[in-house]
Amino acid sequence: MSAETTIATRSLTKRYGDVLAVDGVELDVRRGEIYGFLGRNGAGKTTTIRMLLGLIRPDRGEVEVLGTRIGASSREVFSHVGYLVESATAYPNLTVRENLDIQRRLTRAPHAAVEEAIEAMRLGEFAARRAGVLSLGNKQRLSLARALLHRPDVLVLDEPANALDPAGIVEVRELLRSLSSEHGVTVFMSSHILGEVAHLADRIGIVSSGRLVEEIDREQLRGRERSHVEIGVSDPVRAATALGQAGFARIERDGEGLRVFDARDRVPEMTRALVSAGLDVTGIAPVREDLESYFLRLTGDGE
Ligand code: ATP
């Protein structure tokens, strides 16, 4: 594990009966980055997060957080980690402020931390209200406030946008962005909504049926939004060479055909290059694949 790695997993695997909930996941989350763990319902996000936090034990593989291998004697590292998991519940009969004060004492944070967390999650209006009567969105804010309160170096958040209204989602996004960019906090967050992580994450890991099927960074994400041209051609290998010579830089094999990126406006030129190389063109179609359909295709729902 490099010094820049904050969360690492190796061969992380968990099975529930017949269901392989997490299947050999290898993660390297770098210090200060926002990593979006994206997958559909049941993909294995929560199970992975529970293993990162030592809440359940993997069947195979291992987890390291801040250089500490997670296991029976890894409690100390969690003083540097803030987390929000589905089952996190507040004491319903205590107020928001009292709940946060308990968290403060547990984490030995300074007194001022409670008001700071209330302020950060805009819970001022509700601070004296019992946690049990909060709206779902405000319960989520309280859970986030608890996660942040002791100023952890690492935040592990399972579906942080759950139950938040659109304004709340933007607020949390800005908060996480500033924690990462100004304070070097590493954020690992799961989501089933592409738009949510696409706006925020420096890197996205796409998980499907327990497997990490692809990792993409912000730059690649933008690239994916670009259109490409699908070409059916008699000899794809020779066609790729001919197009390369004609100045087309991004060419991928796609079954019996080719995909050429950044070429939407150059279809005539492309056809000429193929024909003059003596190739038969059986089809040529510009395609615009947005991120959503890309994600659906990767996670097996786009066919
Ligand atoms: P969601 O977005 O719906 O929360 P997820 O990506 O977090 O989904 P997990 O909760 O990790 O998915 O579940 C992965 C798979 O493991 C699912 O098929 C789920 O039914 C199964 N699973 C999770 N926990 C258990 C458990 N305690 N016992 C049996 N099966 C489980």
Q: Where are the domains of the chain?
A: 5-223, 225-298
Count of helix runs (H) and strand runs (E) in the chain: 10, 14
Mutate which of 12, 13, 45, 52 to test ligand 1's pocket (most atoms within 8 Å of Cβ)? 45
Residue nearest to atom 27 of ligand 1 (CA): 16
Confidence of residue 84 (pLDDT cuts 50, 70, 90): very high
Cα 67 to middle of ligand 1, angstroms: 27
Between CA 99 and CA 97 the distance in angstroms is: 5
CATH number corresponding to 225-298 = 3.30.70.980
Say what the pLDDT of residue 303 is: 38
Mean pLDDT over 176-203 rounds to 92
CA distance 224 to 12: 28
pLDDT-derived band of residue 3, with 50, 70 and 90 as boundaries? Answer: low
State the distance from the centre of ligand 1 to the C-alpha of 89, rounded, in angstroms.
Answer: 19
Beta carbon of 44 within 6 Å of any ligand 1 atom: yes
* Across 21-30, 38-47, 118-127, 288-297, least confident range: 288-297
Is the C-beta atom of 50 inside 6 A of ligand 1?
Answer: no
Query: In which band, very low, low, confident or very high, does the pLDDT at 221 lie, cut at 50, 70 and 90?
Result: confident
Whether the pLDDT of residue 223 is over 80: the answer is no
CB 243 within 8 A of CB 258: yes
Q: What is the pTM of this model?
A: 0.81
Output the pLDDT for position 88.
63
Domain 5-223 has CATH 3.40.50.300: yes
For the Cβ of 43 lying below 6 angstroms from any atom of ligand 1, the answer is: yes
State in Å: Cα 16 to ligand 1 middle: 9
* pLDDT value, residue 119: 95
pLDDT, position 2: 61
Nearest Cα to 235, choosing from 258, 266, 251, 264?
A: 258
pLDDT at residue 87, rounded to an integer: 61
Report the atom number in ligand 1 closest to the C-alpha of 158: 7
Closest ligand 1 atom, residue 44 Cα? 11
How confident is residue 237, by pLDDT bands cut at 50, 70 and 90? very high
What pLDDT band is residue 148 in, cutting at 50, 70 and 90? very high
Mean pLDDT of 62-79: 90
**Residue 27 pLDDT exceeds 50:** yes
- What is the per-residue burial (b if ≥16 Cβ within 10 Å, else e) of 213-231? ebebeeeebeebeeebbeb
Confirm or reject: Cβ of 47 under 6 Å from ligand 1: yes
Q: What is the CA radius of gyration of the chain?
A: 24
- Residue 17 Cα to ligand 1 midpoint, Å, equals 12
- Would you say residue 45 has pLDDT above 80? yes
Beta carbons within 10 angstroms of residue 92's beta carbon: 12
d(CA 250, CA 230): 12
Mean of all residue pLDDT scores within the chain: 90
Which residue's CA is the nearest one to ligand 1's atom 15? 21
Residue 286: CB atoms within 10 Å: 14
Query: Is there an atom of ligand 1 within 6 Å of 249 CB?
Result: no
Nearest CA to ligand 1 atom 11: 44
Residues 27 and 6: their CA atoms lie apart, in Å, by 10
- DSSP for 119-168, please give it: HHTT-GGGTTSBGGGS-HHHHHHHHHHHHHTT--SEEEESSTTTT--HHH
Q: Which residue has tokens 């291992």?
A: 62
> 199: helix, coil or strand?
coil
What average pLDDT score do residues 214-221 get? 85
Chain segment 95-115, per-residue pLDDT in tens: 999 999 999 999 999 999 999
